[in-house]
Amino acid sequence: MTIHIGADKDDIADVVLMPGDPYRAKWAAETFLTNAKCVHEVRGMYGFTGEWNGNRVTIQGSGMGMPSMSIYANELIRDFDVQTLIRIGSCGGMQDHVKVRDVILAMTACTVATPSSTIFKELNYAPVADFDLLHKAFHAAEGMDVGVHVGSIYSSDTFYDERPDLNKEMQRHGILGVEMEAAELYTLAARYGRRALGVMTVSDHLLTGEALPSDQRERSFGDMIEIALKAAFA
- Where along the chain do its domains lie? 9-233
Residue 132 annotated as catalytic: no
pLDDT of residue 24: 92
Ligand-binding annotation for 181, yes or no, is yes
Ligand-binding annotation for 66, yes or no, is no
Ligand-binding annotation for 204, yes or no, is yes
Ligand-binding annotation for 142, yes or no, is no
CA distance between the termini of the chain: 30
pLDDT of residue 1: 86
pLDDT of residue 93: 97
Phi, psi of 146 (to 5 degrees): -155, 140
pLDDT of residue 32: 97
pLDDT of residue 53: 97
- Which is the catalytic residue, given 130, 204, 215, 223? 204
Query: 12 has which bridge partners?
Result: none
pLDDT of residue 234: 87
Q: What's the pTM value of the predicted model, to 2 decimals?
A: 0.95
Contact predicate 109/153, CB 8 Å: yes
Ligand-binding annotation for 203, yes or no, is yes
pLDDT of residue 219: 67
Mean pLDDT by 10 residues, the chain (234 residues): 93 97 94 96 96 98 96 98 97 97 97 91 94 98 95 94 90 97 98 98 94 76 96 95
pLDDT of residue 110: 96
pLDDT of residue 127: 97
Contact predicate 109/199, CB 8 Å: no
Q: State which CATH number among 3.20.20.60, 3.40.50.10950, 3.40.50.2000, 3.40.50.1580 fits the domain covering 9-233.
A: 3.40.50.1580
